[in-house]
Structure 1
Amino acid sequence: MNPALAAGLQIALVVGVLAILYVPLGDYMARVYTSERDLRIESLLYRVCRIDSRTEQTWYGYAGSLLGFSLASVLFLYVLQRIQGVLPINNGLPGVSPAVAFNTAVSFVTNTNWQSYTPETTMSNLTQPLGLAVQNFVSAAVGMAVAVALIRALIRVRGTGEIGNFWVDLTRGSLRILLPGSFVVALILLSQGVIQSFHTGFASTGLDGTSVTNALAPVASQEAIKEFGTNGGGILAANSAHPFENPTPLSNIVEIIALLLIPVALTRTFGTMVGDRKQGLTLVAVMTLLWGGLLAVTLAAESGTRGIAAKAAGAMMEGKEVRFGIPGSALFAVSTTGTSTGAVNAAHDSMSPLGGGAVILNMLLGEIAPGGTGTGLYGILVLALIAVFVGGLLVGRTPEYLGKKLGKREITLASLSVLVMPALVLIGVGITSILGTTTGFQGNSGDPGSPQSIHGFSEVVYAYASASNNNGSAFGGLTVTSDWFQSSLGICMLLGRLLPIVFVLALAGSFAAQKKTPPTAGTLPTSGLMFGGLLTGTVVLVAALTFFPTLALGPIAEALQ
């Protein structure tokens, strides 16, 4: 089939399914978070944990509960990895080393799923579902809870200062949205041949006649929430390029739809909850424009032929699975780096300089196209607040968003939330680039100014962009097993997740304390084409001004050679 036609059909299928599910899923999630009724299983959990589901929290209480839950999750997952060697179903594997256990615990609790280890030879078939898969559910639910808390603050009519109950939002997101959705995705993946087994593996004979042990794991159940919760991380080392995780072109499309579905539908949830669905349509239009633009760049870059090998093959097929080809690989790469998922079905390190630069930029935009479960929505809402403030200053209109005034406190919190990720990326890349102990870990290091050295710099930029944005994918040529990378990337994951959440919840508390004011003739409209253009320009301008010098030293310089 013609590559352009194949790309068009796959994109049309993904967009079509998302459009069909957009309204019912978005409205369902709105009902989940606004319902006053608890399920029986939820009521039981609340009684056991001594939680009053009818009591709301201020932003202090909400943030304290979230941070306490995250800390407890990190400690539990760390201990589980360290003692897995004495637990049942351990596959004969010892406990995980302290540095890797810390990095992994932080990674999965922060919805990053960065992996500095080989899953088959490091994590047991007990640690995978009991530790990692559980965090895939609750870390995604945490992101949605923060987004919903911000929405509640924007629609509060009276200034009570309350933004909901974290424990209720966490429970409902996990049990009513993520669990049933993952079950459906898992059934579809099973029908395509994704495996589900607690056996350690089976032996087979390779083409050269040697005996090979093929690892097995409960893949389908974990693969489903890995994508549906925008988690990422591979149950097997090859991630979504492995035939046990992603065996067919149809399973590839299903996984792409799964990782895009909740972030896209949450814009409908937002519009429904605030009582103005045009607001949600404006946000999803901006997300679609950014996603589509970067997808077009990546497809064009990867469909070209650079180098002898690419010209001989007729395309940039190095590092890509032939069952997916250029269209399926580019579509997956842009979707995964735009949703903080981190799952990959191709080697991003083998992408062309322009294609690799596009997926890096996709993360550096703040991963709001469409972003992770919850994180994408509250991320683009924070940028919308900045756009309203800037637009109001330019035209002399009142800086308000949905009846809530934007004063010094609100714009300061919004700015701090946006600045966390750039600070972590630039500081991490800067320190790593000057440390002599780290340059040897760059798989493509070479003489200064050489193509290998430039690409090695791009690998470092990708690593810190991925960690600070809680993405988890990587340019595989960079070895990150040293103590410096384990600790620094772990800190970036932790701060990149929790600091913006604290700032967003503080922002929610500030809005919740305000009384809602009706719009006036001087209020800047926050829906429609004009505001969509202003928001898009704000997103691009913030990323361009912040990261252009860094990108010029890496992907841009490599592309121009």
Structure 2
Amino acid sequence: MNTEILGIGIQIILMIALSYPLGKYIAKVYKGEKNWSDVISPVENFIYRFCKIDPTEEMDWKKFLKTLLILNLFWFFWGMVLLMSQHWLPLNPDGNGAQSADQAFNTCISFLVNCNLQHYSGESGLTYFTQLFVIMLFQFLTAATGMAAMAGIMRAMATKTTQTIGNFWFFLVRSCTRILLPISLLIGLILILQGVPMGFEGKAKVTTLEGSVQTISQGPAAAIVAIKQLGTNGGGFFGANSAHPLENPSYLSNMVENISILLIPMAMIFALGFYLKRKKMAYIIFGVMLLGYLIGVTINTWQETSGNPKISGIDQRGGAMEGKEVRVGSAATALWSVSTTATSNGSVNGMHDSMKPLSGMVEMLNMQINTWFGGVGVGFMNYYIFIIIAVFISGLMVGRTPEFLGKKVEAREMKIATIIALFHPFLILTSTAIAAYLYIHHTGFVSSEGGWLANPSYHGLSEIFYEYTSCSANNGSGFEGLKDNTPFWNYSCGMILILSRYIPIIGQVAIAGLLAKKKFIPESSGTLKTDTVTFGIMTLAVILIIAALAFFPPLALSTIAEQLSL
């Protein structure tokens, strides 16, 4: 067997094997059941006392959302102040300057919403202080925010009839202290042992074999890389992201990081089954998500290992190696490209802009569908919307009032679910159309910013389309032929990031809260079963019809047209 393909199989098996016990543990953490992590209770109690928080207070869905949004607003101002004044702050051995207002706005919003889109290079765009107290801090908080939101939804789904969905602070703190922090420490230790730097010295000067002097950036990379992968944050300590040899030095570090990307998103689905005591339903959801993920892995691996038909007379047994690292290989890069876009991670170990057109299409479809595991917590929440729609449609088909987990799904919940499902393609398609119009007509935006695209025709459209897709999916990866560090792209992407993060969360938590208040209806022989393969297929069909077909026209004009031109 090809060793690269074997490596892919081992990684996928490890993801699933590790996520199952982690999911069981996460369910215990959110339920407040006794487990080994209770030793952390004194730290949590100190946080509650210091912040004057009552973790036992029950919140209805409105107060839950209000707390979530106010906390995020506070951290936005925190990040803006530090990014625009970082040249005055300590831990800046390389003397990096402050970010401009538009760049700081984009950076702050991007990391606050779990997207980590970077319109800067890590070595020069940030200091060690802002890497730690903005970037890494946000990577913990934003991941924990998504996990806390899902915990609230699980609480609402598990209770027969209730006015409350738990305590946001309780879920947030436990997500950080008992899940993200311990696993991040373990991953960080492995990365340090593999050679990822962890220190505060400035750039090192080395003399190459040719006798020239080269400066190499260093810094506290291992700690930041660990949480960026585990929390499906993405971004890169270095500009080249996980393609950089100091951020991802070996095949082993590559495996650890890739597994980390999907570990918690997969575990959260198992946690749902344990929390609700409906493991069969969780298995069905997991199976649908895994199927979508594996289809993408198969296509991209085939594309990237088969070489480029435009190149003739050159040995391509290693695959299409443009934009890839030899130490990683084409197959592992293909796997990573699917892992990072099937979640809201966005880190890269090779350049997506250099990958073949069908691979680029898969990457965009993963983000456009946005339900193949997704970000930590919010991945299931996106899937939850399609469950509500599938339940409603199935109920109409059999002539029954739609029910989900003993609660009637009525017009109000259906309206919210439909709006959220259509909001994602609306943001992507509308913003892409506006940007493409401005570029084609050479408006003042384009001319004043020196042009945006490094590639014409189909691939140029792909670069614009990919950027807004990545923003709306809270992903953060990009086709880097786009000149994106300009006021237009910083502000337009920032607005898409805000809308695509908070509007869906508001709608998803609202649906869960509204359903939780309704009278519980015991299951009967006529109840629609939501833990069957048939319902899983129905949900998959709804996802493909609503989420995928909406994007076929622009995909036909970009990646598909480019593929046909090869």
Q: TM-score range by the shorter chain?
A: over 0.9
Give ranges in structure 2 of 5+ residues lacking alignment.
Answer: none
Q: 1:559 aligns with which of 540, 560, 563?
A: 563
| Structure 1 equivalent of residue 454 of structure 2 | 444
| Structure 1 equivalent of residue 389 of structure 2 | 386
What does 1:45-124 align with in structure 2 at a 5 Å threshold?
A: 45-91=47-93, 92-124=95-127
Matched residue type, 2:133: L
Q: Aligned residues: percent identity? A: 40
Matched residue type, 1:34: K
Map Cα deviations across residues 394-442 of structure 1 (whole Å, 9 max, x no partner): 2323311111211001111111222222111111101100112348634
Q: 1:410 aligns with which of 406, 409, 413?
A: 413
Deviation at 1:272, TM superposition (A): 0.9
What does 1:129-144 align with in structure 2 at a 5 Å threshold?
A: 129-144=132-147
| Structure 2 equivalent of residue 448 of structure 1 | none
Matched residue type, 2:191: L
* Native 8 Å contact 2:232 2:343 kept in 1: yes
**RMSD of aligned C-alpha atoms?**
1.5
- The whole-number CA distance in structure 2 between the counterparts of 1:121 and 1:514 is 54
Deviation at 1:311, TM superposition (A): 5.8
| Structure 2 equivalent of residue 22 of structure 1 | 19
- The whole-number CA distance in structure 1 between the counterparts of 2:55 and 2:519 is 25
Q: Does 1:128 align with 2:137?
A: no
Deviation at 1:36, TM superposition (A): 6.6
Q: 2:493 aligns with which of 483, 489, 505?
A: 489
Map Cα deviations across residues 89-136 of structure 1 (whole Å, 9 max, x no partner): 123122211111110000000000000011111100111011110100
* Native 8 Å contact 1:195 1:219 kept in 2: yes
| Structure 2 equivalent of residue 363 of structure 1 | 367
3-state SS, counterpart of residue 204 of structure 2: strand
- The whole-number CA distance in structure 2 between the counterparts of 1:66 and 1:81 is 23
- The whole-number CA distance in structure 2 between the counterparts of 1:311 and 1:194 is 38
Matched residue type, 1:486: N
| Structure 2 equivalent of residue 424 of structure 1 | 427
Deviation at 1:171, TM superposition (A): 0.5
* Native 8 Å contact 1:228 1:261 kept in 2: yes
* Native 8 Å contact 1:365 1:543 kept in 2: yes
* Native 8 Å contact 2:454 2:483 kept in 1: no
* Structure 2 CA distance for partners of 1:499 and 1:513, relative to 1, 3 Å: same
| Structure 1 equivalent of residue 165 of structure 2 | 163
Matched residue type, 1:8: I
| Structure 2 equivalent of residue 469 of structure 1 | 473
- The whole-number CA distance in structure 1 between the counterparts of 2:425 and 2:552 is 12
- The whole-number CA distance in structure 1 between the counterparts of 2:307 and 2:451 is 29
* Structure 2 CA distance for partners of 1:465 and 1:207, relative to 1, 3 Å: farther
3-state SS, counterpart of residue 312 of structure 1: coil
* Native 8 Å contact 1:310 1:317 kept in 2: no
* Native 8 Å contact 1:432 1:438 kept in 2: no
Deviation at 1:357, TM superposition (A): 1.0
- The whole-number CA distance in structure 2 between the counterparts of 1:416 and 1:321 is 42
What does 1:495-506 align with in structure 2 at a 5 Å threshold?
A: 495-506=499-510
Q: TM-score, with normalisation over the residues of structure 1?
A: 0.95
Q: 2:462 aligns with which of 455, 458, 461?
A: 458
3-state SS, counterpart of residue 444 of structure 1: coil
* Native 8 Å contact 2:472 2:496 kept in 1: yes
Matched residue type, 1:443: L
Q: 2:330 aligns with which of 326, 333, 345?
A: 326
- The whole-number CA distance in structure 2 between the counterparts of 1:506 and 1:225 is 29
Matched residue type, 1:141: A
* Structure 2 CA distance for partners of 1:396 and 1:10, relative to 1, 3 Å: farther
Deviation at 1:22, TM superposition (A): 2.7
* Native 8 Å contact 1:155 1:516 kept in 2: no
3-state SS, counterpart of residue 203 of structure 1: strand
Deviation at 1:282, TM superposition (A): 0.6
- The whole-number CA distance in structure 2 between the counterparts of 1:418 and 1:466 is 17
- The whole-number CA distance in structure 1 between the counterparts of 2:430 and 2:488 is 14
3-state SS, counterpart of residue 212 of structure 1: strand
| Structure 2 equivalent of residue 449 of structure 1 | none
* Structure 2 CA distance for partners of 1:455 and 1:441, relative to 1, 3 Å: same
Deviation at 1:550, TM superposition (A): 1.2
Map Cα deviations across residues 1-38 of structure 1 (whole Å, 9 max, x no partner): x6xx2343122212222232233211110011110787
Q: Does 1:230 align with 2:232?
A: yes
- The whole-number CA distance in structure 2 between the counterparts of 1:43 and 1:283 is 35
Q: Aligned pair count?
A: 550
3-state SS, counterpart of residue 54 of structure 1: coil
3-state SS, counterpart of residue 126 of structure 1: helix
- The whole-number CA distance in structure 1 between the counterparts of 2:416 and 2:268 is 23
| Structure 2 equivalent of residue 200 of structure 1 | 202
- The whole-number CA distance in structure 2 between the counterparts of 1:235 and 1:399 is 48
Q: TM-score, with normalisation over the residues of structure 2?
A: 0.95
Map Cα deviations across residues 474-520 of structure 1 (whole Å, 9 max, x no partner): 00100101211000000111111011011111112101211221112
- The whole-number CA distance in structure 2 between the counterparts of 1:147 and 1:109 is 17
Deviation at 1:206, TM superposition (A): 3.9
| Structure 1 equivalent of residue 259 of structure 2 | 257
3-state SS, counterpart of residue 213 of structure 1: strand
| Structure 2 equivalent of residue 146 of structure 1 | 149
Deviation at 1:300, TM superposition (A): 1.4
3-state SS, counterpart of residue 284 of structure 2: helix
- The whole-number CA distance in structure 2 between the counterparts of 1:259 and 1:441 is 34
- The whole-number CA distance in structure 1 between the counterparts of 2:84 and 2:423 is 31
* Native 8 Å contact 1:349 1:474 kept in 2: yes
Deviation at 1:213, TM superposition (A): 0.8
Map Cα deviations across residues 198-219 of structure 1 (whole Å, 9 max, x no partner): 1111012345543211000101
3-state SS, counterpart of residue 554 of structure 1: helix
3-state SS, counterpart of residue 516 of structure 1: coil
Deviation at 1:307, TM superposition (A): 4.3
* Native 8 Å contact 1:442 1:479 kept in 2: yes
- The whole-number CA distance in structure 2 between the counterparts of 1:276 and 1:441 is 53
Map Cα deviations across residues 288-310 of structure 1 (whole Å, 9 max, x no partner): 00000011111112122334447
Q: Does 1:526 align with 2:523?
A: no
- The whole-number CA distance in structure 2 between the counterparts of 1:36 and 1:70 is 28
Deviation at 1:523, TM superposition (A): 1.7
Deviates more, 1:278-287 or 1:183-192: 183-192
Deviation at 1:444, TM superposition (A): 3.4
Deviates more, 1:465-474 or 1:413-422: 413-422
* Native 8 Å contact 2:122 2:238 kept in 1: yes
- The whole-number CA distance in structure 1 between the counterparts of 2:19 and 2:120 is 37
Give ranges in structure 1 of 5+ residues lacking alignment.
Answer: 446-451
Deviates more, 1:464-473 or 1:208-217: 208-217
- The whole-number CA distance in structure 2 between the counterparts of 1:208 and 1:357 is 42
